[in-house]
Amino acid sequence: MSLKNNPFINRPQFKHGAVPFDDIKLEHFIPALDYAIAEAEKTLESIKNNPKSPTFDNTALKMENGTELMDAVAHTYFNLMSAESDNKFKELAQEISPKLSAFKNSVLLDPKLFARVKALYENRDKDGLTSEQKRLVEEKYTDFTLNGALLNDADKKKVRKIDEELSKLAPKFSQNTLNATNDFTYHTEDENELSGLPDMAKEQAAETAKKKKKDSGWMFTLQMPSYIPVMQYADNRELRKTLYKARGKVSFGGKYDNQEIIKNTIALRYEKAQILGFEEHAEYTLQKRMAGSTANVNKFLDRLYKVYYPAAKKELEEVRDLARKDGVEDLQAWDSAYYSEKLKKQKFDFDQEELRPYFKIENVIDGIYKVAELLYGIKFTEIKDVPVYHEEVRVFEVTENSGEFLSLFYIDLHPRETKKGGAWMTYFRPQGLYNGKVERPLISIVGNLTSSTEEKPSLLTFDEVETIFHEFGHALHGMLSNVTYSSLASPDVYWDFVELPSQIMENWLGEKETLQLFAKHYETQEDIPDELIEKIKASQTFNKGLWSLRQLSLGFLDMAWHTTDPANIDNVAEFEEQAMEKTRLLPRVDGANVSCGFGHIFAGGYSAGYYSYKWAESLDADAFEHFKEKGIFNKEVAKSFRTNILEKGNTKPPMELYVKFRGKEPDPNAMFRRDKLLN
Ligand SMILES: [Zn+2]
């Protein structure tokens, strides 16, 4: 097929560079990608073979621009794969992903290219670069060095070998946990055992039994949708105990044991870090994080421990008291979720369903736009003259009050069979320099929120509204990006910083002033009642200590694995016991192990990164407190948040940006205050 008719290469022009979705067909992706990669390789060759000494323009800028088409094809593909694709479309990923990673490796492993980047890096203070150009050079240089570019050939080989082995261990780890999880089922014919469970959980259990070829009864598994309701609602203590113990044993011993994989993984990570000149894996990982060092993460976790441990202890006493009234004298790990749920119901009994009428989706969308207008003076106007990938997608033109164009904003919020689960923000094009011109971005949010029916419009739960505010926060970050080079554009910042713009938006939702802007009954137009708002707010801090202590215990465990010389670790269970001891409030469960099922750090991207959940929370609480001090719609504070954080992307280290906004480093006390654990 001719490339001339390929819409990626001969791109039909639409307003603001909108994606020509109507023209893009399945068969266009691979030829466009192959062409784009070949072009990118040609550019790299010309950079490498340039006889002139390296300059920002002939090296860094050319590298930056060389992948423009490739990125466009990749972004379009992966966005559609998640939001609107059939199996045939999804299968293409198996061709596309290896092509992209092969290209990426060929760049980072190229010694000639690195030599030029290194020369730029070494002269970065002399060459009269702008601060953003300097940052671009530094970030590129760091990407190369963290990948081993400075090593001698023998060490480079070692690192490649380690990477290769690690890349096999991670999927083995998840395969083991998956197999071990699937291996367990609990079948019962006795309906009494189901007492307390919500109807939906019962129906699911009956369906599972049928699927597993049982003629009757109910079956429970260790998958979250089956496991969680049992822990929270099953009156039958034995049932809870059985499932809890089974879950604790996942991949700890038996056919699908992960202990050796853990030991190998941490040994290889440690070795790699040492070859690259770092103390240990955590120090290596934290190079491109806001936290910056192992010491900072540990300091942060210890600080939180001092507040959350006593709080959790107190909260657990209340749970224990309730259990005692129920005849349970020795509260165990399998009882705490159950009695916590009961306590929550006692304290804040309100039906989530009562809220829905106030959250008609059109009103909510209108609400977030009002919030954005009050804060940043920007406007959203729906447009119909750009292509969309599905008829449910709506597109808005985002402009400054002056009329200046900022971004296109696509929203696609309801479930379809062709869409994956969850909610996310994404972009078809980040803001930045293309073909010599700084272009505005194409931003999108996708979700799976309650759809309308024939009788009723789409009425959302509070959690769903919170999801919209969250994703809209990421979207604002992307829309307001104001950098020169797209690889430094918002929202792509260090990942312990990336949730600040999103999570901070959730705070507005908790404020009466915000809710009054849009939360009106869809039939009567009445404002949401104050006492409902109060109930929502009060329930948000329920058992915050216990929940946070759990997060902390995982953070400590993660850091322990990645800051210890593996030569000093021989028993996985003992090591874990030591790392988690200080956060334990309930009796130890024999035969249970957390590490063997801790996919986040052994099979996901969270190694030496689990702390970032609480880190991001402490940032958004501290930043929002600044708004609270001056008024939540204070224009000055909003302007400072916009110009110092949202617009800046990764053009400066996150802590520097944060301090510019806040006047000081983030203080976790703001989070404790929000959690009502400090006055
Ligand atoms: Zn997020």
List phi, psi (to 5°) of 457.
-70, 175
User: Which string of DSSP letters, residue by residue, matches 180-217?
Assistant: HHHH-EEEE--GGGGTT--HHHHHHHHHHHHHTT-SSS
Return the structure tokens found at 131.
């601060």
* Interval 379-410: pLDDT, tens: 999 999 999 999 999 999 999 999 999 999 99
Residue whose pair of structure tokens reads 């419009």 in the numeric block: 457
Dig out the tokens for 550 from the structure: 């759990």
Q: Which two tokens stand for residue 528?
A: 């949401």
Residues 671, 623 contacting (CB under 8 angstroms): no
377: left (phi over 0), alpha (psi -120 to 50) or beta: left
> Measured in angstroms, how far is the CA atom of residue 472 from the centroid of ligand 1?
9
SS (H, E, C) 26-39: HHHHHHHHHHHHHH
Helix, strand, coil shares, percent, the chain, to 5:
60, 5, 35
CA of 317 to the centre of ligand 1 (A): 33
Q: How far apart are CA 85 and CA 77, in angstroms?
A: 10
Q: What are phi and psi of 542, to 5 degrees?
A: -60, 130
Please report the pLDDT score of residue 2 as a whole number. Answer: 78
Confidence at residue 352, expressed as pLDDT on a 0 to 100 scale? 76
Going by C-alpha positions, the residue among 616, 575, 624, 613 that lies closest to residue 596 is 575
- Measured in Å, residue 444 CA sits from the centre of ligand 1 at 13
Active site residues: 471
Paired tokens of 610: 């689990």
* pLDDT number for residue 200: 86
State how far the Cα of 73 lies from the Cα of 24, in Å rounded to an integer: 10
632 φψ region: left (φ > 0), alpha (ψ -120 to 50), beta (else)? alpha
CB neighbour burial string for 549-570, b if at least 16 within 10 angstroms, e if fewer: bebbbbbbbbbbbbbbebeebe
Tell me the per-residue pLDDT of 102-151, one tens digit each, with 9 for 90 and over: 999 889 989 999 999 999 999 999 879 999 999 999 999 999 999 999 99
Cα 423 to ligand 1 centre (Å): 9
Which residues is 405 bridged to in the sheet?
399
Give every residue of the chain whose pLDDT is below 70, as ranges.
1
Neighbours of ion ligand 1 (CB under 5 A): 502
Using DSSP's 3-state secondary structure scheme, residue 534 falls into helix
Ligand 1 centroid–CA 616 distance in Å is 10
Closest residue by Cα to residue 614 from 308, 228, 341: 308
> How many whole angstroms from its chain centre is CA 572?
28
CA geometry: angle at 207 spanning 201 and 210, to 5°?
145
- Note the pLDDT of residue 663: 97
What is the secondary structure of 339-400 as a DSSP string? HHHHHHHHHS---GGGGGGG-BHHHHHHHHHHHHHHHH-EEEEEE-SS--SSTT-EEEEEEE
Q: How far apart, in whole angstroms, are the C-alpha atoms of residue 665 and residue 559?
A: 23
| Span from the CA of 464 to the centroid of ligand 1 (angstroms) | 14
Cα 419 to middle of ligand 1, angstroms: 18
Q: Are 608 and 589 in contact (CB under 8 A)?
A: no
The pLDDT value recorded for residue 1 is: 60
pLDDT of the residue at 674: 95
Please give the C-alpha separations between residue 659 and each of 96, 619, 628, 644, 667, in angstroms, as whole numbers.
41, 11, 17, 9, 11
> Residue 188: its pLDDT value, please?
96
Helices 224-233 and 333-347 pack at an angle, to 10 degrees, of 70
Of 42, 75, 2, 5, the C-alpha closest to 432 is 75
Which residue, 290, 167, 229, is CA-closest to 611? 290
Cβ neighbours around 23 below 10 Å, total: 16
Q: 381: phi > 0 → left, psi -120 to 50 → alpha, else beta; which? A: beta
Which one, of 146, 142, 116, 145, lies nearest residue 56 by Cα? 116
Task: Report CA(207)–ligand 1 centroid distance (Å).
Answer: 33
Q: Which pairs from 134-137 meet CB under 8 Å and 24+ separation?
A: 135/488, 135/650, 135/651, 135/652, 136/60, 136/64, 136/485, 136/487, 136/488, 137/56, 137/60
Q: How far is CA 102 from the centre of its chain?
A: 25
Q: Round the CA-based radius of gyration of the chain to a whole number and report it.
A: 27
The answer, as to whether pTM is greater than 0.75, is yes
Cα dihedral sign for 649, 651, 656, 662? negative
